């Protein structure tokens, strides 16, 4: 599936390193307009051949005043297509087109009230004095020729600028985050009023195109797929099976890092519901041996990724001649692992499907979901007829419990975490909150604390409970679980899990934290 084969209209997002860049893409797709994120260093020739209906310049953590500031090709502004600069992107526009950017006397982070002073197509049906989200240390002190200010805040005299004749617009705030009240409407206006896009990105129209693309890429080759039973790998497997049938061979790798009863659930689900080639491989001993004594989270992920591939290659040799390894890699997985296709985004952590793969791999990768967000994958799964039990399953990381054990991974620590995790899921489901949460799980901390049990002193482990709400995993808020539920979780874990004498609750959001602790 590519934008070139599926859509004539699309939006190009040039990434200057903002952690919110993918939110722009999601908001555009929610408006049913296809878009892709590319690095701001993308060559002008590739920008031209992308044939975008409009271009969005993202925010970024740096300053255009820096000696090594990231900029875009000035020829961009002579293409006669609409351009929207967000935060750093607006300052790039100003800097390149002859305006002036200076350090702000007062940095601005958080909510502000946006005052509209002139009509702009960008703000059509946007209420005056609405809340916007600011995050900047510089501001514009002189506009480029042909531009005017159309909105301001107390700290930003030029919070929105435009050259309507050239169809170039700039916002000092972030419309892509939920904290900007009219953010989606502003992006909607850019897409439809200014770029004149039409709604052509619909999941129900993707299946046939994606199936066709898989057929073209794979041909008569054999494909081996790592099926974990999660949403991503399940949708990928069913989609590929629809395209190539029995040429797909799915393997469930028991890496010894699974939750309680996981292997039996996955095996039963796919043997009972899908006519797919499916085998279970017990490779737990190999994984645990590789992880012995390893405490660094990045090393854990990469060791697991490498071992995962080696197991697959070994199994592929035993089962026949395979050309492709299929994975359920999603867009956020790619973004969090590396800078977007060579761009400036800060690396957060390696995803096991991306950062953990060996450089020399005998199998070619087949990743049909690589450009989709989680909610899009779930919608695709429903179109494919996959059951809600699978579609609504909370995400579980490929490295499994290894990255929920801070410090070394041992059989004893796995058993402790597995038991605590089981209690959390049982109680969350009993409280009918499971489908309201993006993820809910336990983390075993690398510390011990003093406690008292049966009038005796204990010195045992600490479990952290993590529960978040999110729509795509790119941002997340900690979930305010009911106090009685938290009390029940703590009571059960301490009483039923040998080796735990303290339970804490994680109340940090993403950003600045990540959902997983490692």
Catalytic positions, written as ranges: 87, 174, 176
- For 374, the token pair is 């989680």
Q: What whole-number distance in Å separates Cα of residue 63 and Cα of residue 161?
A: 19
- Would you call 442 exposed, middle or buried from its count of C-beta atoms within 10 A (0-12, 13-18, 19+)? buried
C-beta of residue 315 within 8 angstroms of C-beta of residue 331: no
Q: What whole-number distance in Å separates Cα of residue 386 and Cα of residue 234?
A: 8
Query: Tokens 């006669």 map to which residue?
Result: 80
Q: Positive or negative, the Cα torsion across 107, 109, 110, 112?
A: positive
- Would you call 46 exposed, middle or buried from its count of C-beta atoms within 10 A (0-12, 13-18, 19+)? exposed
Neighbours of 186 (CB within 10 A): 29
Q: What whole-number distance in Å separates Cα of residue 98 and Cα of residue 103?
A: 17
- Would you call 204 exposed, middle or buried from its count of C-beta atoms within 10 A (0-12, 13-18, 19+)? exposed
Q: What whole-number distance in Å separates Cα of residue 335 and Cα of residue 244?
A: 29
Over its C-alpha atoms, the chain yields an Rg (Å, rounded) of 25
Phi-psi region of 254 (alpha: psi -120 to 50; beta: other; left: phi over 0): beta
Q: What whole-number distance in Å separates Cα of residue 138 and Cα of residue 434?
A: 43
Chain centroid to Cα 200, Å, comes to 23
- For 357, the token pair is 């793969």
């Amino acid at each position: 599936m590519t934008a070139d084969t599926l859509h004539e209209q699309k939006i190009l997002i040039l990434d200057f390193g903002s952690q919110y860049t993918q939110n722009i893409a999601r908001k555009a797709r929610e408006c049913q307009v296809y878009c892709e994120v590319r690095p701001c260093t993308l060559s002008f020739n590739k920008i031209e051949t992308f044939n975008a209906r409009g271009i969005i310049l993202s925010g970024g953590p740096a300053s255009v005043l820096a000696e090594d500031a990231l900029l875009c090709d000035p020829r961009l502004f002579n293409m006669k297509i609409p351009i929207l600069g967000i935060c750093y992107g607006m300052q790039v526009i100003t800097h390149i087109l002859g305006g002036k950017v200076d350090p702000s006397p007062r940095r601005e982070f958080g909510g502000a009230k946006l005052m509209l002073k002139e009509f702009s197509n960008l703000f059509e049906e946007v209420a005056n004095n609405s809340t916007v989200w600011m995050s900047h240390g510089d501001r514009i002190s002189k506009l480029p020729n042909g531009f005017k200010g159309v909105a301001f805040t107390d700290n930003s005299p030029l919070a929105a600028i435009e050259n309507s004749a050239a169809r170039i617009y700039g916002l000092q705030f972030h419309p892509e985050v939920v904290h900007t009240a009219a953010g989606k409407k502003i992006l909607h206006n850019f897409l439809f009023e200014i770029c004149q896009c039409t709604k052509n990105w619909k999941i129900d129209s993707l299946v046939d195109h994606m199936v066709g693309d898989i057929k073209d890429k794979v041909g008569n080759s054999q494909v081996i797929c790592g099926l974990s039973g999660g949403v991503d790998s399940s949708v990928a497997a069913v989609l590929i099976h629809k395209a190539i049938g029995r040429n797909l061979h799915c393997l469930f790798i028991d890496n010894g890092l699974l939750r309680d009863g996981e292997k039996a659930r996955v095996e039963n689900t796919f043997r009972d519901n899908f006519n797919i080639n499916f085998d279970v491989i017990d490779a737990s001993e190999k994984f645990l041996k590789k992880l012995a004594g390893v405490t660094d989270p990045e090393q854990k992920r990469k060791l697991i990724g490498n071992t995962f591939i080696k197991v697959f290659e070994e199994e592929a040799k035993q089962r026949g001649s395979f050309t492709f390894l299929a994975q359920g890699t999603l867009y956020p997985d790619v973004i969090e692992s590396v800078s977007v296709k060579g761009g400036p985004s800060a690396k957060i952590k390696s995803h096991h499907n991306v950062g953990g793969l060996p450089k020399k791999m005998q199998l070619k990768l087949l990743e049909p979901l690589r450009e989709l967000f989680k909610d899009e994958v779930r919608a695709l799964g429903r179109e494919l007829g996959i059951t809600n039990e699978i579609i609504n399953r909370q995400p579980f990381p490929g490295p499994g419990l290894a990255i929920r054990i801070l410090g070394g991974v041992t059989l004893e620590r796995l058993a402790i975490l597995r038991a605590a995790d089981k209690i959390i899921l049982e109680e969350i489901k009993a409280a009918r909150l499971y489908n309201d949460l993006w993820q809910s799980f336990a983390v075993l901390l690398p510390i011990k604390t003093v406690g008292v049990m049966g009038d005796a002193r204990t010195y045992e482990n600490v479990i952290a409970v993590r529960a978040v709400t999110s729509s795509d995993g790119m941002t997340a808020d900690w979930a305010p679980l009911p106090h009685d539920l938290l009390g029940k979780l703590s009571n059960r874990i301490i009483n039923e899990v040998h080796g735990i004498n303290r339970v804490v609750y994680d109340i940090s959001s993403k950003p600045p934290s990540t959902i997983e602790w490692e």
